[in-house]
A and B are shown apart, each in its own frame.
Chain A
Amino acid sequence: MALFPSEAWLKEYVDLINSSKEYEEAAATWEGDLCYVFEAEPDKGVPTDVRAWIDLWHGKCRGYKFDLPAEEGDASKFIIRAPYSRWKQVINKELDPIKGMMQGKLKLKGDLPTIVRYVKAANELVNLAGHVPTEFVDEQS
């Protein structure tokens, strides 16, 4: 069980990405890095914004960084940001990311036509996040 958010959680997530045939096929021609921003919610155990960066290339994740500086994360090709508790809903499959973006609950920065072309890959990335055995920081025993 990996704590979310943490580097251990990110590593498990990346391992799942790299073992997913579905993602590999859907993102076979994808080139570009992605930064997730888990926005601070101090009352839930996330005192500052946390950035998780993944370097996605042709259906694989060839690198990752956890809690990188804002200026580095914000230089990514794509950035998706939301408060910590929204991400928790996404990981728990209580919030569909496309609906969440349409409702303004998740905010995307980057070339939207590219995301739309690769919507199947994007959905698989989210699906994989839900498969990481996760303990949430605000539910730690």
Chain B
Amino acid sequence: MGFVVTDPDVEGLGVMLADLIRGNIEADPDRARLLHGITGTINVRASDAEVDVGMEFRDGQLLVHAKPFPKADLDITTDADTLMGMSTVPLRFGMPDASKAEGRAVVGKMVRGELKVRGMVTKPKLLTRLQRLLSVG
């Protein structure tokens, strides 16, 4: 069993997120530790592409499902470009680094409602783990 497991019917966004995380773990195997000691569900939606995906941290693995969860612990909604850009944003403690221009740009999108993250207050650890797994920085 791999660290990242995709349902057979996953395609598009789900495949991309899974491949991104697999590639990051392959390049830096220490990142596999980010999958341990955490449980929770995340929906990711690229609003302009009209696609969404459900992800689940469970038993040291990240499961990627073709369908979003009816009620996930964390919901991330933004446009396709912002979603891709989130992987290149410099992080500080697992969150966009507001001392850097790219980090401030992400924070600005959240303020303007162009990037919505529901559950980040109640499940911050889930968000920081996902950010660290997706980051190519």
Chain A complexes with chain B = yes
Cβ B20 vs Cβ A103 within 8 A: no
* Interface size grouping (class) on chain A: 10 to 19
Give the residue among A103, A111, A112 with the most B Cβ atoms within 10 A. Answer: A112
Interface residues of B, count at CB 8 A:
23
Which B residues are within 8 Å of any A CB, using their own CB? 11-13, 15-16, 19-20, 23-24, 27, 46, 48-51, 80-81, 83-85, 87-88, 136
**Complex-state Cα separation, A107 to B49, whole angstroms:** 15
- Residues in B neighbouring A112, C-beta threshold 8 A: 16, 19-20, 23
Q: Given A98-B84, A102-B46, are A117 and B136 also a contact pair (CB < 8 Å)? A: yes
Cβ B80 vs Cβ A98 within 8 A: yes
Cβ B51 vs Cβ A119 within 8 A: no
The count of A-to-B residue pairs whose CB atoms sit within 8 angstroms is 51
Q: Given A99-B49, A99-B80, A119-B84, are A113 and B16 also a contact pair (CB < 8 Å)? A: no
Cβ B16 vs Cβ A101 within 8 A: yes
Cβ B23 vs Cβ A111 within 8 A: yes
Q: Mark A43-70, 1 if CB is under 8 A from B, else 0.
A: 0000000000000000000000000000
Cβ B49 vs Cβ A113 within 8 A: no
